[in-house]
């Protein structure tokens, strides 16, 4: 993996500290060209990996990259799925049962209602494969060397203890897409425990890691201990705690955790991208 990854939260109105800022960003990036312009800035500064959701508009980014193979010869996508907001919007529009009927087979719904855990798990594996294939269509022909399970799904499965699904997901990503499975989580220590129980060796895990413990379930000390002692490939996100930590201070802390392999950040201006990249290059070794 590259050491520096570029994220997409800013393009789709996601800001964990300021709803006003999130709305302004959503307005600014409602035109896909505005997103491409920022990606081009990052790419021209040497950042080659775009960590993204499977938002419908990412499909237009994929089309643009496919249409310009010389320009983006070594561009990589790290998709994360499922895109939770898409399904949440469906619940708002169609109701819970209506949304379920739109996205999953009726047999799975009937199994859940009957309370058959083992059968539900078995059916869920088939649903999972269908959903992965559906959301990966937009990336056809592009470099997707790591494919992530989004934290909404990861942490739900973690809560239910569905180990079979973690194993099946990992095997399917490796077998069908010749890619590494990755996992987003809001509970790094607990996820590492269950992945170890599943026999998933040296997993790629992306989680919030920052100096003030922002969005770090279990506490900063538990994360630091896991990073120091556990065998996995950590990717740090939310390193600035949505602006609560000054950039130089945030990056100095992250880079002091020597086992962290990559850092993902989002930015919407050339100045911020340049500043962050230079700080990372200064401290990353």
Q: Is residue 180 part of a domain?
A: yes
Q: Residue 45 falls within a domain, yes or no?
A: yes
Confirm whether 167 is domain-assigned. Answer: yes
Q: Is residue 115 part of a domain?
A: no
Structure-token pair, residue 267 = 């930015």
Task: Classify residue 255: in a domain, yes or no.
Answer: yes
Q: Are 187 and 217 in contact (CB under 8 A)?
A: yes
Q: How many folded domains does the chain comprise? A: 1
On whether the CB atoms of residues 63 and 35 are closer than 8 A, the answer is no
Q: Cα separation of 195 and 43, whole Å? A: 33
- Burial pattern 35-72, b for ≥16 Cβ within 10 A else e, equals bbebbebbbebebbbbbbbbbebbeebbebbeeeeeeb
Element (H, E) at 174: helix 163-177
The domain of 267 spans 4-83+143-283
- Give the pLDDT confidence of 135-164 residue by residue, as tens digits: 999 999 999 999 999 998 999 999 989 899
pLDDT confidence of residue 89 = 56
pTM: 0.86
| Confidence at 56, pLDDT banded by 50, 70, 90 | confident
Predicted confidence (pLDDT) per residue in 156-201, tens digit: 999 989 899 999 999 999 999 999 999 999 999 999 999 999 999 9
pLDDT value at residue 192 = 98
CATH for 68:
3.20.20.100
Residue 116 lies in a domain: no
Residue 111 has pLDDT above 50, yes or no: no
């Amino acid at each position: 993996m590259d050491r520096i990854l570029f994220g997409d939260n800013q393009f789709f109105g996601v800001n964990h500290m300021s709803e006003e800022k999130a709305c302004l960003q959503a307005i600014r990036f409602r035109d896909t060209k505005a997103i491409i312009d920022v990606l081009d800035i990052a790419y021209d500064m040497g950042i080659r990996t775009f960590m993204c959701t499977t938002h419908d508009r990412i499909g237009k980014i994929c089309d643009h990259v496919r249409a310009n193979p010389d320009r983006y010869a070594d561009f990589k996508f790290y998709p994360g799925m499922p895109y939770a907001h898409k399904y949440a919007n469906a619940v708002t529009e169609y109701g819970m049962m209506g949304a379920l009927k739109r996205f999953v087979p009726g047999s799975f719904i009937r199994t859940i209602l009957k309370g058959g855990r083992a059968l539900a798990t078995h059916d869920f594996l088939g649903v999972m494969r269908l959903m992965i294939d559906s959301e990966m269509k937009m990336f056809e022909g592009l470099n997707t060397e790591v494919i992530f399970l989004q934290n909404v799904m990861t942490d739900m499965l973690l809560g239910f203890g569905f180990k079979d699904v973690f194993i099946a997901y990992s095997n399917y990503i490796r077998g069908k897409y010749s890619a590494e499975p990755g996992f987003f989580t809001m509970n790094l220590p607990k996820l590492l425990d269950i992945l170890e129980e599943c026999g998933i060796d040296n997993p790629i895990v992306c989680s919030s890691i920052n100096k003030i413990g922002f969005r770090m379930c279990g506490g900063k000390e538990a994360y630091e201990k896991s990073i120091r002692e556990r065998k996995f490939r950590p990717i740090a996100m939310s390193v600035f705690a949505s602006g609560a930590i000054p950039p130089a201070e945030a990056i100095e802390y992250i880079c002091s955790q020597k086992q962290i392999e990559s850092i993902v950040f989002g930015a919407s201006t050339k100045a911020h991208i340049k500043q962050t990249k230079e700080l990372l290059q200064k401290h990353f070794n």
